[in-house]
Amino acid sequence: TDRADLKVLNIPKPPDNRSDGTTGFEDLDKKELKLDFLRSLFSRTLGLSPGEKVLDELSLEGVASYIQSGKCKNVICMVGAGISTSAGIPDFRSPGTGLYANLQHYNLPYPEAIFQIDYFKKHPEPFFALARELYPGQFKPTLCHYFIRMLKDKGILKRCYSQNIDTLERVAGLEGEDLIEAHGTFHTSHCVSQFCSKEYSMAWMKDKIFSEVIPKCDACNSLVKPGQFSLRTALHCCFYVSDFPNCDLLIIMGTSLQVQPFASLVSRVPKNCPRVLINMEKTGQASFAAGLLGFGGGLDFDSDGAYRDVVYLSTCDDGCMALADLLGWKAELEELVKREHAAIDSKDASKKDATANQSSECSDKSSPGPEARKSDYQ
């Protein structure tokens, strides 16, 4: 009924012919006044400005028509592990997966500790165990990754903030300043000592990761970690400062919004900026108990005052496909996925061919002939 009330307030129906001679609008005016009073009371007391309603309706349809209106030019995506699960990358937070079981051995205080630098400095092993499992180049981006790429191609992606270390956003075609990888990227690694910060290459790190050696700086013997670009750095850099206050639409996908300071970013967009959550469950809602998102900062899908947040409970791929469909982008998105996946497959096949040829040239006489090998890749 709360939603219905709000709808009535925004789109007044023609008044009924009432027996008492009133139009029904009087009641609306009273309600509106009451809400206005509350809004201004809250904004004065808490220093919040009342939110202006941008979406026609709090649904994926509302989001689609907002994007189509042309007023939505700066989209920020915030993504987490959930966007990569359909690529075959297990969410290390999900019980029942091999990865989760592997990480159990390390007795993490809580799963996200694996990404926190203070924890890493004391216990680097679980991070590198995870890195070994998720090392770039073994998986294909998902439909959701390509949806983000489409936002870029359409010229409305401001930036994608990712919590993932699988680099699938890059594989899908985001590059350079399109992307901020909150937990670092494998592209460069750095010594964690702030007095040293020596840089190491991807090849150097890959060698350490797969030889199961904890990487240490050869200059100062501190740990070396993939990714110098921590979100903490980003928080103080120009991107963050200009991105969030100028955001027109925040799309949050596949993240439980549990890791700070990442989670708090949802509250940094303007008060009238619509925020869409595409996820298997609701998350990021304001909670006094958690205190993480702070009052006025958390997502609000259901309260009386909900005015800009939309939740679509589904897999990230399904949610993106539904949104693409509403936008008339469905065929284009399917075509993009097909084309890109085919390109990755053919690259993989030629790489495997090269490796196979190499090994047969070297020593492996017992390996199957070229015909048999070819069939392995089909």
Min separation Cβ 219 and Zn ion, Å: 4
Stretch that binds Zn ion, among 90-98, 113-121, 219-227, 325-333 (CB under 5 A): 219-227
Min separation Cβ 213 and Zn ion, Å: 16
**Residue of 48, 156, 196, 202 interacting with Zn ion (CB under 5 A):** 196
Q: How far apart are CA 234 and CA 181, in angstroms?
A: 9
- Sign of the four-CA dihedral 109, 112, 118, 121: positive
DSSP secondary structure code for residue 272 in this structure: T
Q: Is 101 annotated as a binding residue?
A: no
Q: Which is nearer to Zn ion, 191 or 253 (CB)?
A: 191
**Residue of 81, 174, 191, 327 interacting with Zn ion (CB under 5 A):** 191
Phi, psi angles (nearest 5°) of residue 319? -60, -45
Sheet containing strand 224-226, edge to edge, reads 199-200, 189-191, 224-226
Radius of gyration in angstroms for the set of CA atoms belonging to the chain, rounded to a whole number: 25
Min separation Cβ 227 and Zn ion, Å: 15
Q: Does 220 bind Zn ion (CB under 5 A)?
A: yes
* Cα 3 off chain centre by: 28
Q: Is 191 annotated as a binding residue?
A: yes
Min separation Cβ 224 and Zn ion, Å: 7
**Residue of 97, 193, 228, 233 interacting with Zn ion (CB under 5 A):** 193
Alpha-helix residue ranges (DSSP H) falling in the chain: 2-10, 25-46, 60-68, 98-104, 117-122, 125-133, 143-153, 168-171, 202-210, 231-236, 238-243, 316-327, 330-362, 370-376
Q: Does 219 bind Zn ion (CB under 5 A)?
A: yes
Phi, psi angles (nearest 5°) of residue 48? -105, 145
Q: Which is nearer to Zn ion, 120 or 312 (CB)?
A: 120
Q: Is 280 annotated as a binding residue?
A: yes
> Considering only residues 248-307, where is the footprint of Zn ion by CB under 5 A?
none
Q: How far apart are CA 268 and CA 245, in angstroms?
A: 7
Q: How far apart are CA 205 and CA 215, in angstroms?
A: 7
Q: Is 256 annotated as a binding residue?
A: yes
Determine how many CB atoms are found less than 10 A away from the CB of residue 150.
21
187 assigned to active site = no
Q: Is 205 annotated as a binding residue?
A: no
Q: Which is nearer to Zn ion, 122 or 365 (CB)?
A: 122
Q: Which of 105, 145, 183, 236 is catalytic?
A: 183
**Residue of 72, 160, 182, 217 interacting with Zn ion (CB under 5 A):** 217
What does the binding site for Zn ion look like in residue numbers (CB under 5 A)?
191, 193, 196, 198, 217, 219-220, 222
Positions at the binding site for Zn(2+): 191, 196, 217, 220
Positions at the binding site: 81-85, 91-93, 163-166, 191, 196, 217, 220, 255-256, 279-281, 316
